[in-house]
Amino acid sequence: MQNISTNTALSQDDEQQISLQTYFKPEISPDDIEQVFLLKQAQPLLQTFTALFHGGFNGVMVRLLVLRELVADVGSSTVTRADINMKLGYLDPDSLETVLSRLRSYQLLAWDAAQGVYRVTPMARNVLAAIDSLLLTGKGDDEADMGFLLSQVVGAQAVGGVTVEQLHHLLGRLVELTEEFRDAIASGSEFRLRAAQEKWNNACDWVEKGSAIIHAITSDSQADAATHRAAQAIGRAQSALLNMQGMFSRALNQIERQRVHLGQSGLSTTDIKTWLLQQEDLAALAIDAIAQPVKPLFVTPAEMIDVAENELLADRVAAIDASLPTGEDAPVSQSQSVGMPAELGAWLDRLTEIADAPPKAMKVEQALLPASFAIASYRASLLPLLGDESEAVLQGGTATMARLPLVFTPQDILQKLKDPYVAAISVGALTLNPLAPSAPPAPSTPTDTKHE
């Protein structure tokens, strides 16, 4: 036991102990981060992984080898040092002692001093079970890499302990596969498409196996809201993945239509590419295949354009007639003036009367009414043109109206009227402006009328 303590102290001295705070900003405390708190709670479990996977690959492999050999003996819950030496006799004694010391230091092996035997701890068995499960799924034909993730969800649900994190791992993998398949479809490569379709078929098999468990999670009334949301998101991701069958079919059919066949041989460009990919040395195919070396003639695009333009215009230069065309009289057209609308003319006469004999200020309803709702609205829509300089320089009825010496002053107030057609109208007034239309027009807004 004295040797165990010494080796443990040496291993701890060799490791560089770095404060957790050094990884964070000075004003941030690691204890305020929720994930840091959760990881600290799992420190014993994480230290077992440190014991197994710290260092080079060869050292990791030997530690796993020793631990797997000890766990494989199910005849007894304990093992003596003599049994260990016999089981692992192919290992160097000093190297075996180093590995055993490390496993004891991190509580993967427990030493019973009273009986002088070793025991494999439950923590070590759990870690090895997770590693064996991952190794088992890695040896199969799971190209979609979903088997391990789905098995974790299924196993956790079976014992009633599925977590949101486990569902998020599965959801993230489904999203990655969907994006990968979409990129393969967008690439237009037949080989990439067929490889992606094969991977898609494998993923759909796992989706079919996991649909029942996802349905069970969504139907579980005891699951929390976050678990329900994650399960529903997985269901949507699975639907998006399954709906890609039509996209694969359309893309492959398009490639099939564009495939080029070599004469009557029955060979296509796809067959040739497949054969070329199977060759280990493509350069060796050209040996003794070409009697004379190829001498390519390189022409720059600019020179090609000059030559093409010269050849194109060489026969046309002589045929070009440089004389001016004979003069022709310009066609005479007679514009027909459009008559002024009758309602506009009547409205101009009304405004002219107001301008010739204006009161001090006429209310807008007195100028617009009496009239039907349609005519009153038409008149109100023309009032902002009074005093408009840009309109006054033109020709026509609205230009004549703009040159009248009147100013329309509206207010953002709606008043009710006792009129058979108009229920309410914006407050406003018409006043005389002797400087119109040279004076700048007052800001105005269209008068609002409300149909009764």
For the chain, the first-to-last Cα distance in angstroms comes to 104
Tokens representing residue 315 in the block = 């026969």
Q: Torsions phi, psi of 145, nearest 5?
A: 55, 40
pLDDT at 314 over 50: yes
0.85 cut: is pTM over it?
no
261-270, 275-284, 370-379: the lowest-pLDDT one? 261-270
Are 168 and 153 within 8 A, CB to CB? no
**Which of the pair, 166 or 440, is modelled with greater confidence?**
166
Q: How confident is the model at residue 334 (pLDDT cuts 50, 70, 90)?
A: low
What are the start and end residues of each CATH 1.10.10.10 domain in the chain?
2-129
Distance CA 435, CA 406 (A): 9
**What does the pLDDT read at residue 317?**
59
Determine how many CB atoms are found less than 10 A away from the CB of residue 249: 11
Determine how many CB atoms are found less than 10 A away from the CB of residue 448: 13
Tokens representing residue 80 in the block = 């003596």
Instruction: Look at the block and give the residue holding tokens 């690959």.
Output: 57
Nearest of 134, 118, 111, 165 to residue 53 by alpha carbon? 134
Q: Write the DSSP assignment of 19-62 as a string of letters.
A: -GGGGS-TT--GGG-HHHHHHHHTHHHHHHHHHHHSS-HHHHHH
Q: How confident is the model at residue 155 (pLDDT cuts 50, 70, 90)?
A: confident
Q: Write the DSSP assignment of 329-398 as a string of letters.
A: PPPP----PPPPPHHHHHHHHHHHHHHHS--S-EEHHHHH-SS-HHHHHHHHHHGGGTT-HHHHTS-SHH
**What does the pLDDT read at residue 290?**
67
Distance CA 62, CA 127 (A): 16
> pLDDT tens-digit profile of 12-51?
444 456 788 888 888 888 888 888 888 888 888 888 888 8
**What does the pLDDT read at residue 323?**
72
CA distance to 47, 145, 146, 193, per residue, from 173 (Å): 27, 8, 7, 19
The average confidence (pLDDT) of the chain is: 78
Rounded to 10 deg, the angle between the 164-187 and 190-219 helix axes is 150
Q: How confident is the model at residue 451 (pLDDT cuts 50, 70, 90)?
A: low
User: What does R_g of the chain's alpha carbons equal in angstroms?
Assistant: 45
> pLDDT tens-digit profile of 83-132?
888 888 888 888 888 888 888 888 888 888 888 888 888 888 888 888 88
Fold type of domain 2-129: Arc Repressor Mutant, subunit A (1.10.10)
The strand pairing partners of 86, in sequence order, are none
Q: Torsions phi, psi of 97, nearest 5?
A: -65, -40
Are 52 and 71 within 8 A, CB to CB? no
> pLDDT tens-digit profile of 175-203?
888 898 889 888 888 888 888 888 888 88
Q: Write the DSSP assignment of 121-174 as a string of letters.
A: -HHHHHHHHHHHHHHHHHHTT-TT--HHHHHHHHHHHHTT---HHHHHHHHHHH
Are 421 and 345 within 8 A, CB to CB? no
Q: How confident is the model at residue 144 (pLDDT cuts 50, 70, 90)?
A: low
> pLDDT tens-digit profile of 44-74?
888 888 888 888 889 889 988 888 888 887 7
Distance CA 185, CA 199 (A): 13
- Say how far residue 215 (Cα) sits from the centre of its chain: 27
